[in-house]
Amino acid sequence: MTKFEESSVLLNADLGEGATSDSELFKLVDLANIACGGHAGDEHSMRLCCELALEQGVSVGPHPSYPDREGFGRRRPDGPVHNLYGELMRQVDSFLEIAALSNCPVTHLKAHGQLYNDAAFDPVLGELMLKLSLHYGNLKLLVLANSPLEIQALNAGVNILREGFPDRAYWGDGALVERSMPGAVLHDSFQVASQAKAMALGEPISSLDGEWLAFTVDTLCLHGDNPQALANARAVRAMVPRAGNPER
């Protein structure tokens, strides 16, 4: 058995965001991050995602965001950060209520969009996400691998899953390239799968500004809103053998 075949990296996807490929993606991933009203999602979509997760044995977690449905959670709002905590709790609570009614176990938590990117490097927003995770029983928090938030979480005793993004380009400092930049999103499924394989093995990948990055990941994200989401997921699943999900 090769080193790669022994990989235990899990696949996750951001789902419940209105994409048409959700039902097929549930068959391919180990973890699903479910939109809970901040950038997308409503009671119906959350309930449907819980039903699909139970059918496929997929672990679920809330996917809260800045309250920005018009901008799909990709714009940072004005105002003090402390006002955001109550909004995030409202989103998470709405998902947890539906998950409980569906008898769907909740295992993790992942911020969406701009909140995810901001929290990875802003210690104040990072602390807010750590506080949220601990408030809900220390749900495993998905964090950008090799980011300041990874260290912040470990120091705070928060359970984490270090995350890589096969379908996104990186800067040399480990940050994701802004979506407004050309080349920020990878659309070729072979390229996405190749980057996934490198990440799973801890091998270096090339950043958009010419640096080489290598980091350890526990999970790889496939964006459900990408037009190539299903093709990407199938290609990555072929590259990343299913190792079984200990949270199931």
Phi, psi of 13 (to 5 degrees): -145, 150
Is the residue at 5 inside a domain? no
Is the residue at 172 inside a domain? yes
Which pTM was predicted?
A: 0.91
Counted domains in the chain: 1
Residue 242: pLDDT band by 50, 70, 90 thresholds? low
With beta carbons less than 8 A apart as the criterion, state whether 121 and 175 touch: yes
Tens digit of pLDDT for each residue in 42-57? Answer: 999 999 999 999 999 9
Residue 71's pLDDT is what?
76
Burial of 217 (0-12, 13-18, 19+ CB in 10 A): buried
Q: For residue 234, give its domain range.
A: 10-239
Is the residue at 245 inside a domain? no
Is the residue at 244 inside a domain? no
Residue 132's pLDDT is what?
96
Whole-angstrom distance, CA of residue 229 vs CA of residue 219: 16
Residue 204, pLDDT above cutoff 50: yes
Residue bearing the bigger pLDDT, 97 or 4? 97
Long-range contacts of 20-25 (CB under 8 A, 24+ apart): 21/224, 21/229, 21/230, 22/48, 22/49, 22/52, 22/224, 23/52, 24/230, 24/233, 25/222, 25/224, 25/229, 25/230, 25/233
- Which residues are CB-contacts of 96 (< 8 A; sequence separation ≥ 6)? 62, 106, 136
Tens digit of pLDDT for each residue in 147-194? Answer: 999 999 999 999 999 999 999 999 999 999 998 899 999 989 999 999
| Helix, strand, coil share of the chain (percent; to 5) | 40, 15, 45
Structure tokens that stand for 213 in this block: 């990055």
Residue 243: pLDDT band by 50, 70, 90 thresholds? low
CATH classification of the domain holding 21: 3.20.20.370
Is the residue at 83 inside a domain? yes
Residue 4: pLDDT band by 50, 70, 90 thresholds? very low
Amino acid occupying residue 43: E
Is the residue at 26 inside a domain? yes
Is the residue at 2 inside a domain? no
Average pLDDT, whole number, for the chain?
90
Burial of 18 (0-12, 13-18, 19+ CB in 10 A): middle
- Which residues are CB-contacts of 136 (< 8 A; sequence separation ≥ 6)? 92, 96, 106, 109
Coil, helix or strand at residue 45:
helix
| Residues written for the chain | 248
Closest to 96 (Cα-Cα) out of 108, 114, 84: 108
Is the residue at 247 inside a domain? no
> Which residues are 59's β-sheet partners?
31
